Structure 1
């Protein structure tokens, strides 16, 4: 992720409080708070109710400190938007084709750093919405999902998932840009395992609890892509593909009749299915999901177990 010094989400710090005479500490007066939480606590405890000590006019020094404290509290969101604009500017620049090897490596490193910083910033849903308003998603889908460098492809897929997760408006924008087709292609064909895993993460964020995303997924034969992903020799990819498949079938059992789950098709190799009512593995090419298999939740949100031979 982004280096802490590169301007990611950092706790807001208040300006140092003005020094007071040592007599104020000895007299029992509270010291100035050093954080926004402390400032709020001071405001609560200073509410009227105790007549002593009598109110005193605010000194110019205290007034200035309070103004700086409030400015620090509201400066964060503005600075983060400026950081996103800077990242998008760097990502929008053309690739230096006539550059030397060192220059190309430095350019790629800068772009990867920009994508990482954006991923950190867009963990905040307000920042994710601002990122989309700045046309950041158009840049990711139109250019970086198909970038030549795998480090750019997987970071772009990760950022799409980060922005889209549980935000319907962003999911709809991403789906409208045709991202799901490209992500499924990455999951199915990309030579880099990390790209595949990150593409699967983004796909999951676009189709789980998202009806429009699921419909696109079905039209693009997404179940076949998931079945093929479960045959890869990458444990993380197998587990996450199986988890998404299971989640979709538990939430939408009507899709268990999809042809890919029956017969002796090539997508059916090697997956063992165990359910609460069938403890024995159903394993053979073409026997991945059988018509009689049932996914029975143990409790709210849980489902039958998936394993591999």
Structure 2
């Protein structure tokens, strides 16, 4: 009863007596991070010293045999990225091999591995640029001409990764005519091939004005408008993101989307019931009405479309009764105010007549 209470210990942290904090014992400071082979050895030995058997743990100069061993060990852990890219390019530009992959077949192991290896490194801008300089863009005409859907899908994923936020590769993709190829393919692709193709179009264009202008001039707005009714939700979402981006930054694109009467297309989609794309579709309408172009306002008020009732009914849907879809609810409310409350019909008629 009169003896001192036992010490309390927290493993791996510090040891202290229960009755006093004056004798706190901290663990020794950890060794510094290594910056050389000698430092690497010292770090390893210091970090594991507590686990070693008692004895002399003094470090002496590193002998040549030990240095060679560590150099080989480090070399075995180092990847030569240039060699990885070269091997992948060699496989994916082998037209005979690529053409041999038939419709519906799985990819040969070396082809699949080549795509995997590229995906692992090309998100680095310098590596992506080196890939082009090594002739890597030669894989795209070969892969895109394949009848195998997975090959085309993987090629689009690689192109998207190369071009995303990378003006150098975006410019090279445009020079190589790859945007033309994508715009042609996206009209016939389905499933994942369509989704990745749209992803590649977005990545080659966004934040790169020459590609955006080229997309608009070559009928890309019409293609994107049609894709708002695609079967795949992910494809509709990607198309919606790009439509909104183009409408916000390029008046000529916005004009083209108004001509395509996206109001009717979007209203029909919302009528069918909400899904993961609804918020993005409503965001397009919100962008299109910016500036109060009388053409878009007239389309919104077309009785045949009945947008006002569609928006009001959507606001009453069970999904929008909590804050989960707050932004979607706000789009509906803002559209109702801007189109049907803040702009009387007579004012709209006068503005149209003036134009």
Offset of 1:203 from its aligned partner? 0.6
TM-score by length of 2: 0.56
5 Å matches for 1:240-255?
A: 240-255=238-253
Tell me which residue corresponds to 2:258: 261
* Alignment deviations for residues 133-178 of structure 1 (CA, whole Å, 9 cap, x no partner): 12111221x2112211000001001100101111111111111111
5 Å matches for 1:157-306?
A: 157-190=156-189, 192-258=190-256, 260-262=257-259, 268=265, 270-271=268-269, 273=282, 274-275=285-286, 282=300, 305=331
* Alignment deviations for residues 59-113 of structure 1 (CA, whole Å, 9 cap, x no partner): 316655665577568x43xx22111111121222233699898xx9576443233
Distance 1:29 1:162, change over 3 A: closer
Inter-partner Cα distance in structure 2 for 1:176 and 1:131: 16
Whether contact under 8 Å (2:107, 2:150) holds in the other structure is no
- Measured on the aligned residues, the alpha-carbon RMSD in Å equals 4.6
Tell me which residue corresponds to 2:123: 123
The DSSP-based 3-state class of the residue aligned with 2:237 is: helix
**Whose helix fraction is larger, Structure 1's or Structure 2's?**
2
Inter-partner Cα distance in structure 1 for 2:147 and 2:133: 26
Inter-partner Cα distance in structure 2 for 1:247 and 1:232: 19
Tell me which residue corresponds to 2:154: 155
Whether contact under 8 Å (1:249, 1:255) holds in the other structure is yes
Whether contact under 8 Å (1:123, 1:163) holds in the other structure is yes
Inter-partner Cα distance in structure 2 for 1:186 and 1:285: 37
Whether contact under 8 Å (1:122, 1:163) holds in the other structure is yes
Inter-partner Cα distance in structure 1 for 2:97 and 2:303: 49
* Alignment deviations for residues 218-241 of structure 1 (CA, whole Å, 9 cap, x no partner): 121111111111111211111111
Whether contact under 8 Å (1:266, 1:285) holds in the other structure is no
Q: Which ranges in structure 2 are unaligned for 5 or more consecutive residues?
A: 1-27, 44-58, 270-280, 291-296, 308-326, 333-355
Tell me which residue corresponds to 2:111: 111
Q: Larger C-alpha radius of gyration, 1 or 2?
A: 2
Distance 1:207 1:284, change over 3 A: farther
Whether contact under 8 Å (2:101, 2:148) holds in the other structure is no
Distance 1:163 1:231, change over 3 A: same
Q: Which has the higher contact order (CA 8 A, sep 6+)?
A: 1
Inter-partner Cα distance in structure 1 for 2:166 and 2:61: 45
* Alignment deviations for residues 263-293 of structure 1 (CA, whole Å, 9 cap, x no partner): 6699946356453989x99498997x9xxxx
TM-score by length of 1: 0.64
Offset of 1:57 from its aligned partner? 6.6
Whether contact under 8 Å (1:264, 1:286) holds in the other structure is no
